[in-house]
Amino acid sequence: MAIKQLNPDGLQGNREFIVEVLMLSLLHHPNLVTLIGYCTSGDQRLLVYEYMPMGSLEDHLFG
Amino acid sequence: MFSFKCCTLLYDFSDLESNQEPLSWNTRMKIAVGAARGIEYLHCTANPPVIYRDLKSANILLDKEFSPKLSDFGLAKLGPVGDRTHVSTRVMGTYGYCAPEYAMSGKLTVKSDIYCFGVVLLELITGRKAIDLGQKQGEQNLVTWVRNLLNRLQRNT
């Protein structure tokens, strides 16, 4: 699993969190990352994804 | 651009970064095709269509077989329905990947994602970043650099 933590000070943070959860709950395809779950508590926002062991394309091209 | 602070992973990539081999051409093409299939699903299968708005190499994650998966849907937007060709929106995305007509007009279409895909394709082919401030003047923007190279080639043929 990979866990992403939302920055509580982010201007667009909450909106982007909701869009991310909504989109990934409705969309399913082998070439889209799978959202396993999310959690909110106070101003904390966490997203839990499947773990992608090879990192990002950016890491490989420019890492 | 992103409000998400960090991506905490259960493993780190430090070994991978120091020992990694350059991606083979086959792997690069596999990544391009997989990313294109993800975008095709968003544009052609999802109903209403979804415009991803932030296709870039940092958002393409790789599984252990180097199959790509698109991540980070925080900027995604539902696309136009019916006879409409675009949705009007505040311009969001990442410098160097953003389609110029969208950046100028705020009119977002599924084609805005295709422009980003083209930039990723150039990154895969050239190994250069969309914006690379380490390059000399005139070569820092990948699209501009490639366009100049192609123009020069055409003049010489």
Say how far apart CA B74 and CA B144 lie, in whole Å.
28
Could you give the maximum distance between any two Cα atoms of chain A, in Å?
A: 38
Confirm whether B115 is domain-assigned. yes
CA atoms of B79 and A23, how far apart (whole Å): 13
Owning domain of residue B35: 24-120
Q: Are B125 and B62 in contact (CB under 8 A)?
A: no
Choices 3.30.1360.80, 3.40.50.1820, 3.30.200.20, 3.40.50.10420: CATH for A2-62: 3.30.200.20
Q: Domains of chain A: which residue ranges?
A: 2-62
Q: Model pTM greater than 0.95?
A: no
Residue of B nearest to A11 (CA): B3
Contact (CB<8Å) A54/B64 = yes
CA distance linking residue A37 with residue B115, whole number of Å: 31
Q: Do B11 and A51 touch (CB under 8 A)?
A: yes
Q: From the CA of B69, how many Å to the nearest CA of chain A?
A: 4
pLDDT tens across the length of chain B (157 residues): 333 334 333 333 444 455 578 899 999 999 999 999 999 999 999 999 999 999 999 999 999 999 999 999 999 999 988 888 899 888 888 889 999 999 899 999 999 999 999 999 999 999 999 999 999 998 999 999 999 999 999 998 7
Q: Does any domain span residue B144?
A: no
Residue B102 inside a domain? The answer is yes
Paired strand residues for A3:
A48, B8
Neighbours of B149 (CB within 10 A): 12
Per DSSP, chain A holds a count of helices (H) and strands (E) of: 2, 3
